[in-house]
Amino acid sequence: MKALVMSLCADQKRLSYERLGYRLCLVGALLTIGACPGANESGPAVEQITPKAPPPDMSPLYDINDLSAGERARATQLEHLYGFAFPKELFTFWRWYEGLSDEHKSTLEQTMAMRPIGPFDVLAGKFDGVDLAYPNTLHWRYQYDPPEFVTVFLGDTDGLHWGLWFDDHERLAPVVAHYYARDAFELVQSGDSLFAAVRERMQNVRRGTTENIEYDAEHKGSYLADLKAMDALEATLPPPITYPKRPTTVPTGEGMGLVVPDQGGDAGRQALLRGKNMWREDPRKAGPVLKDAYLAARRPVLAAIVETHTMAHPILPSLNILDYPRGSFHDFDRALAAPNEVKLLGVTDSDLAVLPDLSTLTNLEELTLYGNKLTDLPESLKACTKLRKINIFRNPMPHVPAVLYEMPSLEQVLLGDASLQGELAKLQKALPKAEIR
């Protein structure tokens, strides 16, 4: 896989109308399963499978023969990372986006608050030659994102994001849905294609902006400029394409409905429906139920995503897994279980009052501990002779920890507490080459 990768040549007010209106991988994921603690504790193991070609009726949507060699290589990379093929429109959309002027990109990302992420980061080359600590299926996967949901656009209000919805990827083309991660768990279909989702978003933002002119005349000029910018962006969109409709048959709690599988019998269908409806309450409790149901329905890629997301890595501090190169850890238990692998360790906003013995973390290069309740640092930290950066911002430290004076390898020390400012000169003298603030 690495050889493949290396070879690859508007603000809250403006968006409030929509809130009122709605009110409201295969290699990447499967190779992780089985190596993760507790990965196979519930139900049968998720098998590794070879991605299958789409059925004939969907072949025009997935035919990549007319793509460039570089795009075809990206298509292979995406299928290995996510576990299923993406429709050709993903590449058409990326070509369109890459060809936009800076002004048009600003209209899409700022005025309309629709920033391409997720698989578009792969197309942008951000995953090339990168050895990551977590599987790609977790990239921009919010806590309540259903397994079928692959984030493709990021909004700017209450966790608004859009995703391609792959509920039966071997028989059906995906649709686009969106929801607010920090509001009611209600998914809304945004169209049957990426461009359709952009058109819908543009229509909604245009409607809200027009309404704002009436109630906020002071900023009329700004609103008119936004409308003009959206008109100009709309002129660059390709003609709409008709896609096969998604035949939902059973309603589900999140709002997307269920494409009932032929496999698994009635018991399997009931298990799938039960797991889907449990998801909105607690994805981790729903995980084992859904995993078994997906396996019975012969949807092993979704079973793999469930296991990776809800069992192996239920909570990550950042949704952007590019922030986590291999060697990054975010809890002491896992770090101390594999001490030689730890290069970056961050435990933040956790009410942590005392640190464990850190003497085994001899390869540690960066330690981030902001937002805890630490009053001192242990002497065992001296064993971390490769430590270059430490952040203890927002901890009730009564003084600069004595151990820091004995760590000449430090290049950056972030204290961030006014009560410690009087000791900065002394620490700077002990660490003359370090940035201290």
Residue 57 pLDDT: 62
Strands 328-329 and 188-191: unpaired
Q: Write the DSSP assignment of 271-314 as a string of letters.
A: HHHHHHHHHTT-HHHHHHHHHHHHHHTT-HHHHHHHIIIIII-S
Mind listing the pLDDT tens digit for each residue in 361-400? 999 999 999 999 999 999 999 999 999 999 999 999 999 9
pTM for the full predicted model: 0.73
Residue with tokens 């986590």: 324
Tell me the C-alpha to C-alpha distance, in Å, between residue 151 and each of 36, 118, 155: 24, 6, 11
Give 169's pLDDT tier (boundaries 50, 70, 90): confident
Helix (H, G, I), strand (E, B) or coil at 131: coil
Contact assessment for residue 31 and residue 280, using Cβ atoms and an 8 Å cutoff: no
88: amino acid identity, one letter: K
- Between CA 137 and CA 417 the distance in angstroms is 38
For the ranges 47-61, 265-279, 343-357, 413-427, which has the lowest average pLDDT? 47-61
Distance from C-alpha of 24 to C-alpha of 319, rounded to nearest angstrom: 24
Contact criterion met (CB below 8 Å) for 436 and 427? yes
Q: Give the span between the Cα atoms of 433 and 267, in whole angstroms.
A: 66
State both tokens at 40: 């196979």
Ranges of each domain in the chain: 2-312, 327-436
Cα 44 → chain centroid: 27
Percentage with pLDDT > 90 across the chain: 62
Element (H, E) at 6: helix 2-7
* Backbone angles phi and psi of 150, in degrees to 5: -120, 110
pLDDT tier at 264, thresholds 50, 70, 90 = low
CA 331/CA 354 separation, integer angstroms: 13
Q: Distance between CA 39 and CA 312 in Å, rounded? A: 6
pLDDT digits (tens, 9 = 90+) for 182-204: 998 999 999 999 999 999 999 99
| CATH number 3.80.10.10 given to 327-436 | yes
- In three-state secondary structure terms, 340 is helix
Using a CB cutoff of 8 Å and minimum separation of 24, what contacts does 206-214 make?
Answer: 206/230, 207/17, 208/14, 208/15, 208/16, 208/17, 208/18, 209/10, 209/14, 211/17, 212/13, 212/14
Interval 86-115 mean pLDDT: 97
Q: Of 77, 138, 55, give the one whose Cα is nearest residue 304.
A: 138
Confidence tier at 12 by pLDDT (50, 70, 90): very low
Measured CA distances, 65 to 172, 213, 422 (Å): 20, 48, 67
